Chains A and B, each alone.
Chain A
């Protein structure tokens, strides 16, 4: 059996950005503390007319364009998010219509905090391997919520990435994937609540670090790799600090993790976070490059992937869809007032809306 893996990939990051200085100004905090404390220099903000469906569609279209994929060859679509526009009614159906996928189609929305998108990757990989489908698309996408004044407001951002998996024309083979799972309530949002709640420092050691580091070590052990054997490592990035610290604990160097570390510039795109980091790596990777990619979802669990970039990547015109570098360069800055309007934090009266 041919080894399955990533056939194409595409991302979308809204062009609007806000700086911690602007948020800190409103809440009377010291922006330098934020920048040093969580290492976030700016975060992306969705337009008033953007949500997880629109972001997912744009990311999917970029993946389809880049891989020259015929949408009717896509047999499954799974979308991971914790900000699906509907509580009941799938985002996956909207995406399937918007890309022109076939009526016979496996589809569902997933939720596992920030790792539902990578759970989707594992799902479609299994379906490709079993011969159920030719291509499958997994999307991680969020317009994440952070309560005004909460520390999450500095990081909760918007963006998403679509990965198309198959076993022909594979640009990055998935050598192995595994997951760890435990019931650890570090971060949650109850049904009907507008903003999530987090356990503050509890989100660190027992949650993010335990799961991310365990999954990474289990992966390296099972494929017989050491940190120095990898060209790139990318982790879930709730802020700029956590993934850097995890990388260092595991023994990775800055050279290995810097290209996939996007949170300092776009904030935490939740379900899109690790996948968008991987997208940035694929933008620049060369044949033979080895990548360790590990997501983390609160609640809690981690999905780990060991990938090898193939010669096929040189046949792909990676510039035919927007690269992460391009989306990082082309931005429009918002002040807090416009940000509040965009994020619907201003309550409109009935007379207006």
Chain B
């Protein structure tokens, strides 16, 4: 039985994304949380529950038990607000939103905070490459030298070969991200890059280079979700979560049917659109999980924005803020930044700002629906949300 009690985004808040040398895991979480509280016009002690998305704090900061830590440092240790951490690697944030959504849908809660946080810059040396490889199959990918960039590169090479696609098509994703991020004050990068720069930077895992890869960013994002009854009772304005889909696929890349299609994204996006009762044409803009440029390309094709092998027809011309389908107005994972556990929540912040007309210089004209796409690992889990509508 599907309950009719819709779920709304009441307010949002974020820390700066980037290299936050002087700020700790708990500090940026609290900052994002307080900004969201402020934006929602509520008090922290009013919350029924908190869900925290986080991927790697145990390995990077030696800190597990993130939920309890965050509620304490939010100053509500005495207020009895249940706080849990949700982990789904790079989709942890979106997974936390989904859990919060279900908790309200079930009728259990009315007002829930969803946070996402990652401190990615705490370590020096190449240790971080090993830690980030924990999102892969440790025994059968990472053990043999697989890294997130290497796995994406395996997809990229096969894609480029099978469809005769050049590096410019991949680079177009990064160029677009940087352009949009230059208008986002919290983004990791504020610089615009040229196609030529994007195509010719330092190799990371060939054919991918530095400009194909999202950076290691610190950052925290937070949203407040509320039930329809709460919204009505308090007379609040917000943005509706219209539909969602979570789908699974084989864990390791080598087990999949295709190296350049995430089945989980194909089915999660279908589910989300179905539940929202809209078609792809109704989507005003999308935030896609482009941790690597090739994943941006794959997402566009998996979700149906372009036929298979044809993303090149849109990425060079139609994904800008004024294009037919604006992609990553926030700056995306490449340029807004990629704090693993925060990213999925951060996409909701962008959707809220755009749909409320509060996105400033990067505002898209009259958007109705946003599609938010988050991926765990190399595609083992995809989470798609549709936000907006009446």
Contacts and interface: CB of A to CB of B under 8 A. Distances in A.
The short answer to whether A and B are in direct contact, CB under 8 Å, is yes
Interface in B100-158: 124-126
A350 B125 CA distance: 9
A350 to B, nearest CB: 8
A347 interface: no
6 contacts: A350-B125, A351-B124, A351-B125, A351-B126, A352-B125, A352-B126
How many chain B residues sit at the interface, stated as a range, is: under 10
A352 B126 CA distance: 7
Interface string A328-353: 00000000000000000000001110
A125 to B, nearest CB: 40
A352 B127 CA distance: 9
A164 B125 CA distance: 47
Contacts of A351: 124-126
A251 to B, nearest CB: 54
Contacts of A352: 125-126
Nearest to B125: A351
Nearest to A351: B125
A351 B124 CA distance: 8
A335 B124 CA distance: 32
A130 B125 CA distance: 58
Contacts of B126: 351-352
Nearest to A349: B125
Nearest to B124: A351
Contacts of B125: 350-352
Nearest to B127: A351
Interface of A: 350-352
A136 B342 CA distance: 60
Nearest to B126: A352
A324 B100 CA distance: 67
A49 to B, nearest CB: 11
A46 B125 CA distance: 28
A48 to B, nearest CB: 13
A350 B126 CA distance: 10
Contacts of B124: 351
A351 to B, nearest CB: 4
Interface in B229-283: none
A32 to B, nearest CB: 42
A21 to B, nearest CB: 33
A352 B124 CA distance: 10
A169 to B, nearest CB: 38
A352 B125 CA distance: 7
Q: Which 6 A-B pairs have the closest CB atoms?
A: A351-B125, A351-B124, A352-B126, A352-B125, A350-B125, A351-B126
Nearest to A350: B125
Interface in B8-53: none
A350 B124 CA distance: 11
Contacts of A350: 125
A351 B125 CA distance: 5
A194 B257 CA distance: 49
A349 to B, nearest CB: 9
A237 to B, nearest CB: 37
A348 B367 CA distance: 55
B144 to A, nearest CB: 11
B345 to A, nearest CB: 33
A332 B126 CA distance: 30
B143 to A, nearest CB: 13
A42 B248 CA distance: 55
A351 B127 CA distance: 9
B313 to A, nearest CB: 44
A83 B124 CA distance: 35
A42 to B, nearest CB: 30
A272 B126 CA distance: 38
A35 B307 CA distance: 65
A151 to B, nearest CB: 37
A191 B326 CA distance: 67
A351 B123 CA distance: 11
A54 to B, nearest CB: 15
B56 to A, nearest CB: 20
A351 B126 CA distance: 7
A104 B124 CA distance: 48
B147 to A, nearest CB: 16
